[in-house]
Structure formats: C-alpha cells, structure tokens
C-alpha cells in the first residue's frame, strides 16, 4: 500500500518517531476457538491527542505492512513509514490536526504476538503452531490498544486492502466507537477468484521445502516460495486494462528500433 519515495527528511516528515508495546497478561480468545495466553501489541502514534480525545484516527495496515505508518526513527533511516506520503504535518491525514495510531496486527511478527513469539506454555516460538486468526481477532486486539490510550470513540478508521477490510469490521462490530471510515481497495467480501488466488499464493509458500510446517527461523525460511507467491499476488492487484496501460505493446515515443 505504499509508493512513497525514499527521499531525505523534510519539514513535512515526522522524525524521530518511536514505537511502544501494549502488553496484556490476560488470555485473548480467538473467534475460531482457543486463545493466546498473553498478548503484545506494538504500536506508534503521531500528533497530539486533544483533551477530549476526539481527534484520533486509526490507520490499520495491509498484508505486508506494520505499525510504522509514517516518519523515520532517525534521520539516517533510508525509508520512512509505509504511508508517509499521506500521514504527517500538512498531509492528507494531517498530524497537526489529528492523533494517528498505527498498530501491528497480531500474527504480524513486527513486534506484536505472532509465530515468532515465545509461547509461554512451551517456552518455544509458536512457529507453525500459531493458531488461525481472523480479521475480527485483529480488530479486537487493535481495540485493546485504542482503549489503553483512553479513547472511547475514533474520529475515523482509514485503511487500504486488508487495512480497509479492518475498517469495515470496525464499522460493523463497533459502530458507536467509529465516527467514519475511509476504505481503499477493499470490499465487503472476497470474490471466489480472489480467494483462489490467495490460496495459490499460500501454497507457493507452504510447498517451499524451507517452510518446514511453519517451524523456521528468520533467514532460513521459504524465501523462494514467498517470492513466487508475491509475484502472483502482484499480478492479481492489476486489472487487464491496467496491465495494457503499463506494459502494452505500444511504441514508446523516441525509442529506437529493436
């Protein structure tokens, strides 16, 4: 969900930013059954929360995103957060006006509880034993962070792709706690074609010998399978008309023969 350039820091960029962890020792029950015995949620905030806490905007991330929505941790960072084009001082989601929250989804392995986390019941990483989670679980975990910040109603939830799906669930499950939503590239449900393409993408990863049933460590995982799965996924993100526009057989003006 980002085409933001890796430009040097500017007056319209947040720097430095930092993350925090919300930790709950209570079991977190899952929609498909079972629970996580404890929960850690990594998040970042940008801007200032008003005394009446009426200016909070949650920006849930897409499949490959995380809590680092905008800004840089230091001026030396090569790239800013994944939606830095839109979140920051004077930008579309203006941090001079709004208090913006980014949360790493459970299962995201960027600080929030996920397969890389240690299962307190075994003392070992969850790995392939990490339970199946739903978008509803992801939203309920986000809600814990929002409540931890003392916010009872969000001004808005803004998200694209999987983030947009989360925005829809916020609106459906907690309508009194969301003032409005903005949804990009997401619908109320997945089409059969989208479900099939996602299944093939997962199979690319799971059939890589290095997947090992989900029990692998960073640097020794199913990188080849993931690469093929993402190639397939990115093809599915463009329509036939978009492919024709970007890669069609029209001659480029000024190009030579060959």
Answer yes or no: do 70 and 180 share one domain.
yes
Nearest to 107 by CA among 129, 122, 123: 129
Answer yes or no: do 199 and 144 share one domain.
no
Separation in Å, CA 61 to CA 43, 149, 254: 11, 19, 41
> What mean pLDDT comes out for the span 27-43?
98
Answer yes or no: do 194 and 182 share one domain.
no
In a domain, 197, yes or no: yes
pLDDT digits (tens, 9 = 90+) for 148-181: 999 999 999 999 999 999 999 999 999 999 999 9
Cβ(42)–Cβ(20) below 8 Å? yes
CATH at residue 82: 3.40.50.1820
Angle value at C-alpha 136, between 232 and 100, nearest 5 degrees = 85
In a domain, 253, yes or no: no
Domain end: 187, 219, 237, which one?
A: 187
Domain end: 135, 154, 187, which one?
A: 187
- Residue 12's pLDDT is 75
Answer yes or no: do 183 and 196 share one domain.
no
Answer yes or no: do 75 and 173 share one domain.
yes
In a domain, 168, yes or no: yes
Please compute, for residue 244, the number of CA atoms within 13 A of its CA located in the half-sphere on the CB side.
3
In this prediction the pTM is: 0.90
Calculate the average pLDDT of the chain: 93
- Residue 198's pLDDT is 94
| Farthest-apart Cα atoms in the chain, separation | 67
What's the chain look like in SS3?
A: CCCCCCCCCCCCCCCCCCCEEEEECCCEECCCCCEECCEEEEEEEECCCCCCCCCEEECCCCCCCCCCCCCCCCCCCCCCCCCCCCEECCCCEECCCCEEEEECCCCCCCCCCCCCCEECCCCEECHHHCCCCCHHHHHHHHHHHHHHCCCCCECEEEEECHHHHHHHHHHHHCHHHECCEEEECCCCCCCHHHHHHHHHHHHHHHCCHHHHHHCCCCCCCCHHHHHHHHHHHHHHCCCHHHHHHHHCCCCCCCCCCC
> How far is residue 215's CA from residue 211's CA, in Å, rounded to a whole number?
7
Answer yes or no: do 116 and 162 share one domain.
yes
- Residue 2's pLDDT is 57
Answer yes or no: do 14 and 121 share one domain.
yes
> How far is residue 161's CA from residue 186's CA, in Å, rounded to a whole number?
5
In a domain, 257, yes or no: no
The 10 Å Cβ neighbour count of residue 74 is 9
Cβ(6)–Cβ(78) below 8 Å? yes
Q: How confident is the model at residue 122 (pLDDT cuts 50, 70, 90)?
A: very high
> How far is residue 181's CA from residue 137's CA, in Å, rounded to a whole number?
19
Count of the separate structural domains present in the chain: 2
- Residue 4's pLDDT is 59
- Residue 182's pLDDT is 98
In a domain, 252, yes or no: no
> Which pair of structure tokens corresponds to residue 222?
């199913």
Q: Which residue has the higher pLDDT, 5 or 67?
A: 67
In a domain, 57, yes or no: yes
In a domain, 47, yes or no: yes
Answer yes or no: do 197 and 165 share one domain.
no
pLDDT at 193 over 60: yes
**Domain assignment of residue 153, given as a range:** 1-187
Answer yes or no: do 200 and 168 share one domain.
no
Q: How confident is the model at residue 9 (pLDDT cuts 50, 70, 90)?
A: low
Answer yes or no: do 199 and 146 share one domain.
no
Answer yes or no: do 174 and 223 share one domain.
no
Domain end: 156, 187, 218, which one?
A: 187
- Residue 6's pLDDT is 53
pLDDT at 1 over 70: no
pLDDT digits (tens, 9 = 90+) for 48-75: 999 999 999 999 999 999 999 999 999 9
Answer yes or no: do 157 and 236 share one domain.
no
Nearest to 17 by CA among 90, 67, 92: 67
> What mean pLDDT comes out for the span 134-158?
99
pLDDT digits (tens, 9 = 90+) for 71-101: 999 999 999 999 999 999 999 999 999 999 9
């Amino acid at each position: 969900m980002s085409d933001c350039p890796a430009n040097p820091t500017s007056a319209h960029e947040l720097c430095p930013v930092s993350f925090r962890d919300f930790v709950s020792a209570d079991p977190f029950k899952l929609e498909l059954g079972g629970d996580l015995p404890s929960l850690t949620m990594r998040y970042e905030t940008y801007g200032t929360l008003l005394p009446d806490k009426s200016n909070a905007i949650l920006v849930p991330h897409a499949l490959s995103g995380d809590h680092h929505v905008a800004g840089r941790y230091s001026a030396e960072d090569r790239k800013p957060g994944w939606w830095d084009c839109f979140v920051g001082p004077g930008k579309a989601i203006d941090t001079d006006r709004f208090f913006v929250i980014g949360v790493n989804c459970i299962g995201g392995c960027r600080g929030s509880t996920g397969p890389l986390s240690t299962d307190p019941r075994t003392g070992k990483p969850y790995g392939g034993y990490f339970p199946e989670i739903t978008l509803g679980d992801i939203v309920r975990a986000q809600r814990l962070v929002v409540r931890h910040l003392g916010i009872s109603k969000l001004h808005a939830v803004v998200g694209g792709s999987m983030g947009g799906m989360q925005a829809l669930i916020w609106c459906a499950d907690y309508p009194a706690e969301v003032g409005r939503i903005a949804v990009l590239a997401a619908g109320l449900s997945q089409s059969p074609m989208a479900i099939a393409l996602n299944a093939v993408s997962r199979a690319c990863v799971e059939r890589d010998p290095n997947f090992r049933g989900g029990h692998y460590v960073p640097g020794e995982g199913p990188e080849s399978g993931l690469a093929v799965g993402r190639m397939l996924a990115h093809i599915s993100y463009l329509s036939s008309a978009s492919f024709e526009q970007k890669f069609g057989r029209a001659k480029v003006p000024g190009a030579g023969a060959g």
